[in-house]
Structures are given as structure tokens and as C-alpha cells.
Amino acid sequence: MQKLTREDLLSLEEYAEQRSAFRDTVMTHKKDRRLDLGTNATLYFEDRLTMQYQVQEMLRIEKIFEANGINEELEAYNPLIPDGSNWKATFMIEFPEAEERQEMLGQLVGIENRVYVQVADFDRLFAVADEDLDRSDDHKTSAVHFMRFEFPPEQSAALKSGASLIAGIDHENYTVEVQPVNDAVRVSLLNDLS
């Protein structure tokens, strides 16, 4: 999938004019790129469109219009665009109450390394988490992690041929499996493997 360049972005003025319609398009697109893993964990699969929206929003909020600042945003978000052999996702651990969230983040240390997808009868593919920096320590994990699921060619081909998809978490304090993954999500994610 092609990375974003400055030429792909709207100026702040253009974005202000088109923001509402662009946001509606992106929110519709994101519906088929969200995968709930139980009641407290979610994978938000990223792609070029979701990252374009993220960059445009950051430029708008920070009022960035100079080339250097724009390039910094692109450098930060382009790594979250799939490379054709993988899926990239933002993984969020969500507990509504702050006290419970803090307690659970302490119990879920290492969960980011136990998130997986599985194509048909192939072995599970565990996420490669937080390649940019560590977001956990020995006492607690972060509520947000960035993940990459790297697909061997035979698994990618199987998915494209209609193989089923399973996703889950295999952690001692949080175990869940989604079987099969909703077909709308599965079909949306196929576009990332090209």
C-alpha cells in the first residue's frame, strides 16, 4: 500500500471545507476495520485512508502548515500503513472506570504479545507489538499498542481464496476468541494484502 506524501494532503483551508464529508467517508470505512475482542479490547485496523484522516486531523489541530512539520507527521503515521504482506492495527484496552482500568492494566502485562489472528487451520500469527517503543513495563501495560500481523504468502493466498479468519487473545488474565471474524471486516482487510 502506497505511503502518504505531502501531495496527498489537503491544505488547512481545503481540509476545513471538506472535513465533514471526508470524516463521514472515513467513519463509514472504519466500521468494517474494527474488531472487538471481548468487551474490553479492540483492534482498529489501519490503512492509507485512516492514516490520511489522522494526519489531516493532527495538522488541523496543531495548525501545522510548514513543510517540516507536515513531514514530521507523515514520518510518524506512515509506518501504520500496511506494506502489502501485513495488517497494522491500533490495539486498545478499554475499561470505563479509571480505577478498574489501572488495576486491569497491571494484570494484563504482556497482553500485546498474546493477540493473534489465524487463517483456517494454519498456525496462529501473533502480533508484533510496539516496534517504535516499549509501552509496557514489569508492572503494567499501556492501554494503547500498535501492532503488525505479518502474513506468509500461503496464508495470504488462503485468505484471498476465502479461508476463514479467527482472531483472539491468549493471555492468562484475558482469553477470548472471535470465530469466525465478521465477513465485512475480513473482506475489508483483504485489501491490505496486495
pLDDT digits (tens, 9 = 90+) for 116-141: 999 999 999 999 998 776 777 788 99
Residue 175 one-letter amino acid: T
Co-location of 143 and 122 in the same domain: yes
The distance from CA 25 to its chain's CA centroid, rounded to whole angstroms, is 18
Domain annotation covers residue 39:
no
Co-location of 113 and 68 in the same domain: no
Co-location of 106 and 177 in the same domain: yes
**Residue closest to 65 by CA, chosen among 20, 3, 6, 22:** 6
Co-location of 102 and 158 in the same domain: yes
Do the strands 125-126 and 115-119 form a parallel or antiparallel pair, or are they unpaired? antiparallel
8 A C-beta contact, residue 136 and residue 151: no
Domain annotation covers residue 36:
no
Q: Is 13 exposed, middle or buried (0-12, 13-18, 19+ CB in 10 A)?
A: exposed
Co-location of 156 and 94 in the same domain: yes
Range of the domain at 113: 83-194
Q: Is the pLDDT of residue 185 over 90?
A: yes
Task: For the chain, give the mean pLDDT.
Answer: 94
Domain annotation covers residue 14:
yes
Name the pLDDT band for 166 (thresholds 50, 70, 90): very high
Co-location of 98 and 170 in the same domain: yes
Q: Residue 134: its pLDDT value, please?
A: 73
State mean pLDDT over 49-64. 96
Domain annotation covers residue 59:
yes
Co-location of 128 and 115 in the same domain: yes
Give the Cα separation of 81 and 55 in Å (integer).
12
| Domain C-terminal end among 81, 105, 122 | 81
Residues of 121-139 as b/e, b for ≥16 C-beta within 10 angstroms? eeeebbbebbeeeebbeee
Domain annotation covers residue 37:
no
Give the CA-trace dihedral at 4, 183, 108, 128, to 10 degrees. -40
Co-location of 118 and 100 in the same domain: yes
Domain annotation covers residue 167:
yes
DSSP assignment letter at 23 = H
Co-location of 136 and 118 in the same domain: yes
Co-location of 104 and 27 in the same domain: no
Give the Cα separation of 118 and 124 in Å (integer).
5
State mean pLDDT over 20-28. 97
**Residue closest to 165 by CA, chosen among 193, 185, 145:** 185
8 A C-beta contact, residue 192 and residue 82: yes
The grid cell for 69 is 512539520
Q: Is the pLDDT of residue 155 over 90?
A: yes
Q: Residue 26: its pLDDT value, please?
A: 97
Co-location of 159 and 190 in the same domain: yes
Domain annotation covers residue 6:
yes
Domain annotation covers residue 179:
yes
Give me the number of domains the chain comprises: 2
**Residue closest to 171 by CA, chosen among 38, 43, 46:** 38
Co-location of 1 and 16 in the same domain: yes
